[in-house]
Structure 1
């Protein structure tokens, strides 16, 4: 039986952990030739062993490094059919505590880095392909302490709309999957937040979710694969919330 990504080449920025790793495993299981990036060599090696992916150490905050990784993948695997711009960094700080360095750290990856990763992918993509971005429910929610991250993801949402319009002549669909509270390593890597604070934040997140639990990376990955596949052939410029009902049930009320 044919698989959805047989004969397709998939590139994932940030495919070495969390949502990216879950997606890499799912793409590989569906027949894709796969390349992934990440900053940590140990988790990259582990992900490559799990998925058979070409693993390239690269930091999405560095557009030149993203461009080099894309060129390496295209040389090794052929033109890209799917690009998943997933890598991201988190961080919470109340507005008076947001430094220029903190703001730039968040935006250099989540907005600036993501845009230039997509830009540099375009010469390597086949016409008729798909590009998927990882967004966030934070882009539409007024969550205290989330100004830098939310601004970056809201900006990225605008980028998705514009890219979708610009790439219509090439029949490249561009969409976004926006997770709500999800159990990923990113939760535990908030600068300045110790384990007790992170635990309290997790409890607060669960309380805010109508389904009363955190999401799992595999649940986000399934939507990313749908958007990347021909099952979503008439969908572009969309932002799909995978959040247990937060935006449309809890936040809307």
Structure 2
């Protein structure tokens, strides 16, 4: 997408973190936004700062709310882009997993995103962008990352599938951030290398969407190191990840 002025963009997960930062960055460039998340009050505060963006609350844990939103948008003009950043994050070693939190992460991060992928692409114009937020956490198994990392591995895989299935009508993109300051990463008790602000992350996202690459990952000084683990011999990669634990 060459520019965002006048573009109609739906952001799911816009109430906080990277979703909010991306919304503000797109609004500053003149995009016409539709903002969705569970927190309607936060969405309305954001909409007031984004030129009166449209607010469309939904909860990916409740598929009927997504279905209602899709039916509403189907009656309007086609979207230029759909960006889904919504996710739940609660990292833990496998032995310490809270089953209820794990079920919620699967419901939102995997099943909710899958429902977005199943029902939303027809809302896009030909050549429109369908953008999923995965994570470098899904690139390789790291200590303490479960079950969030597993859900993001699923999203990464889903985006690759969609890039094949929806081509050429839909321009599918996958965003894989490293550590980004947010209320989610505040839960981490370990040192987060190369952590960046949500505003810096949004800059990377918009730059990537203007380009042609399927995979948008940042910051490179961190993501390239994680990518190296994927291409090392498995035995060597496992020795390195054990040291991280």
**Which TM-score tier does this pair reach, normalised by the shorter chain?**
0.7 to 0.9
1:245 Cα offset (Å): 1.6
Contact 1:133/1:177, CA 8 A, preserved across alignment: yes
Q: Does 1:161 align with 2:160?
A: yes
Q: Which residue number corresponds to residue 194 of structure 1?
A: none
Q: Which residue number corresponds to residue 89 of structure 1?
A: 88
Contact 1:26/1:221, CA 8 A, preserved across alignment: yes
Contact 2:132/2:174, CA 8 A, preserved across alignment: yes
Matches within 5 A, 1:42-53: 42-51=41-50, 52-53=52-53
Q: In structure 1, how many angstroms separate the alpha carbons of the residues matched to 2:61 and 2:41? A: 19
1:75 Cα offset (Å): 3.6
1:151 Cα offset (Å): 0.8
Q: In structure 2, how many angstroms separate the alpha carbons of the residues matched to 1:82 and 1:168? A: 15
Q: In structure 2, how many angstroms separate the alpha carbons of the residues matched to 1:146 and 1:176? A: 20
Contact 2:177/2:218, CA 8 A, preserved across alignment: yes
Matches within 5 A, 1:1-253: 4-51=3-50, 52-75=52-75, 78-170=77-169, 172-188=170-186, 190=187, 198=188, 200-201=189-190, 204-205=191-192, 208-209=193-194, 214-228=195-209, 231-232=210-211, 234-235=212-213, 238-243=214-219, 245-249=221-225, 252=228
1:216 Cα offset (Å): 1.1
User: Residue 10 of structure 1 aligns to a residue in which SS?
Assistant: strand
1:61-86 deviation line (CA, Å, top 9, x unaligned):
2222122223334545x211100011
1:49 Cα offset (Å): 0.7
1:251 Cα offset (Å): 6.8
User: Residue 9 of structure 2 aligns to a residue in which SS?
Assistant: strand
TM-score normalised by L of structure 1 = 0.82
CA 1:129–1:95 in structure 2 vs 1: closer, same or farther (change >3 Å)?
Answer: same
Q: CA RMSD in A?
A: 2.1
1:168-210 deviation line (CA, Å, top 9, x unaligned):
141x11111111111112224x5xxxxxxx4x33xx11xx33x
Query: Gapped runs of 5+ residues in structure 1?
Result: 191-197
1:43 Cα offset (Å): 1.0
Q: In structure 2, how many angstroms separate the alpha carbons of the residues matched to 1:40 and 1:63? A: 16
1:72-111 deviation line (CA, Å, top 9, x unaligned):
34545x2111000111110112111224322211111111
Q: In structure 1, how many angstroms separate the alpha carbons of the residues matched to 2:137 and 2:66? A: 25
The count of corresponding residues between Structure 1 and Structure 2 is: 227
1:250 Cα offset (Å): 6.4
Query: Gapped runs of 5+ residues in structure 2?
Result: 230-245
1:54 Cα offset (Å): 0.7
1:187-246 deviation line (CA, Å, top 9, x unaligned):
24x5xxxxxxx4x33xx11xx33xxxx211122222322343xx32x43xx322213522
CA 1:70–1:32 in structure 2 vs 1: closer, same or farther (change >3 Å)?
Answer: farther
Higher mean C-alpha deviation, range 134-143 or range 160-169: 134-143
TM-score normalised by L of structure 2 = 0.84
Q: In structure 1, how many angstroms separate the alpha carbons of the residues matched to 2:165 and 2:134? A: 19
